Amino acid sequence: MTIPFIPSQGVPVTVPSLASSLSESVTAVVDRLGMADLAPQIRRSEHADFQADGALAAARRLRRNPREVAAELVAGLPDDGLVARAGVAGPGFVNIDLTDRALLAQLAGRMGDDRLGVGTPEAGVTTVIDYSQPNIAKEMHVGHLRSTIIGDALVRILEHLGGTVVRRNHIGDWGTQFGMLIQYQVEHPDPSLSGDGGTMGRLATLYRRARAEFDADPAFAERARRRVVALQAGDPGTVAAWRDIVAESTRYFTDVYERLGVRLTDADVVGESAYNAALPEVADELERRAVAVTSDGALCVFFDDLRGPDGEPTPLIVRKRDGGFGYAATDLAALRQRVVELHADRLLYVVDARQALHFRMVFDTARRAGWLPSAVSAVHVAFGTVLGPDGRPFKTRAGDTVRLVDLLTEAVDHAREVVAARNPGLTGAALDERARQVGIGAVKYADLATNRARDYTYEPRRMLALAGNTGVYLQYAHARVRSILARADGADVTVDPTAALEPAERALILDLDAFADTLAEVVAASEPHRLCGYLYRLAQTFTAFYEHCPVLRATGSSRGNRLALCRLTGDTLRTGLHLLGISAPNHL
Partner RNA sequence: GCGCCCGUAGCUCAGCGGAUAGAGCAGGGGACUUCUAAUCCCAAGGCCGCAGGUUCGAAUCCUGCCGGGCGCGCCA
Amino acid at 585: P
Q: How far is CA 202 from the centre of its chain?
A: 32
Task: Using CB under 7 A, pick the residue from 4, 460, 497, 533 that binds RNA.
Answer: 533
| Chain residues 160-189 in contact with RNA, contact rule CB under 7 A | 172, 175-176
Task: Using CB under 7 A, pick the residue from 353, 367, 496, 502 that binds RNA.
Answer: 353
Residue 294 engages RNA in binding (rule: CB under 7 A): no
Residue 390 engages RNA in binding (rule: CB under 7 A): no
Q: How far apart are the first and last CA of the chain?
A: 44
Stretch that binds RNA, among 76-84, 220-228, 494-502, 551-559 (CB under 7 A): 551-559
Stretch that binds RNA, among 20-28, 71-79, 208-216, 322-330 (CB under 7 A): 322-330
Q: How far is the CB of 361 from RNA (least distance, A)?
A: 9
Decide if 128 contacts 331 (C-beta within 8 A): no
Q: How far is the CB of 190 from RNA (least distance, A)?
A: 26
Residue 480 engages RNA in binding (rule: CB under 7 A): yes
Residue 418 engages RNA in binding (rule: CB under 7 A): yes
| Chain residues 6-35 in contact with RNA, contact rule CB under 7 A | none
Stretch that binds RNA, among 12-20, 141-149, 336-344, 450-458 (CB under 7 A): 450-458
User: What is the SS3 assignment for 588?
Assistant: coil
Decide if 96 contacts 82 (C-beta within 8 A): no
DSSP 389: T
Task: Using CB under 7 A, pick the residue from 159, 544, 557, 575 that binds RNA.
Answer: 544
Q: Which residue's CB is nearer to RNA, number 136 or number 264?
A: 136
Number of residues that bind RNA (CB under 7 A): 104
Task: Using CB under 7 A, pick the residue from 195, 261, 326, 497 that binds RNA.
Answer: 326
Decide if 539 contacts 576 (C-beta within 8 A): no
Q: Which residue's CB is nearer to RNA, number 35 or number 165?
A: 35
Tell me the pairing of strands 50-53 and 126-130: unpaired
DSSP 393: B
Q: Residue 192 contacts by C-beta under 8 Å, 6 or more apart in sequence?
A: none
Decide if 568 contacts 107 (C-beta within 8 A): yes
Q: How far is the CB of 374 from RNA (least distance, A)?
A: 21
Q: How far is the CB of 457 from RNA (least distance, A)?
A: 6
Q: Which of 163, 167, 135, 141 is nearest to 152 (CA)?
A: 167
Specify the DSSP element, H or E, that contains 426. Answer: none
Rounded Cα distance between 93 and 239, Å, is: 70
DSSP 80: S
Rounded Cα distance between 125 and 343, Å, is: 9
Q: Which residue's CB is nearer to RNA, number 26 or number 165?
A: 26
Residue 393 engages RNA in binding (rule: CB under 7 A): yes
| Chain residues 46-105 in contact with RNA, contact rule CB under 7 A | 47-48, 51, 53-54, 56-57, 60, 89-91, 93, 95
| Chain residues 198-257 in contact with RNA, contact rule CB under 7 A | none
Q: Which residue's CB is nearer to RNA, number 271 or number 345?
A: 271
Residue 476 engages RNA in binding (rule: CB under 7 A): yes
Stretch that binds RNA, among 118-126, 281-289, 460-468, 576-584 (CB under 7 A): 460-468
Site map (CB under 7 A) of RNA, residues 116-155, x = contact: -------------------x--------------------
What is the C-alpha radius of gyration for the chain, rounded to an integer number of angstroms?
28
Three-point CA angle 453, 400, 452, nearest 5°:
10
Q: Which residue's CB is nearer to RNA, number 119 or number 570?
A: 570
Q: How far is the CB of 510 from RNA (least distance, A)?
A: 15
Stretch that binds RNA, among 124-132, 202-210, 280-288, 296-304 (CB under 7 A): 296-304
Burial of residue 559, with CB atoms counted within 10 A of its CB: 0-12 exposed, 13-18 middle, 19 or more buried: buried
Stretch that binds RNA, among 178-186, 218-226, 259-267, 457-465 (CB under 7 A): 457-465
User: What is the SS3 assignment for 319?
Assistant: strand
Q: Which of 396, 147, 341, 345 is nearest to 262 (CA)?
A: 147
Q: How far is CA 583 from the centre of its chain?
A: 16
Decide if 576 contacts 535 (C-beta within 8 A): yes
Q: Which of 65, 67, 61, 52 is nearest to 34 (CA)?
A: 61
Q: Which residue's CB is nearer to RNA, number 289 or number 392?
A: 392
Q: Which residue's CB is nearer to RNA, number 53 or number 432?
A: 53
Task: Tally the C-alpha atoms within 13 A of residue 167's C-alpha that lie toward its C-beta.
Answer: 24
Residue 546 engages RNA in binding (rule: CB under 7 A): yes
Task: Using CB under 7 A, pick the residue from 469, 496, 497, 506 that binds RNA.
Answer: 469
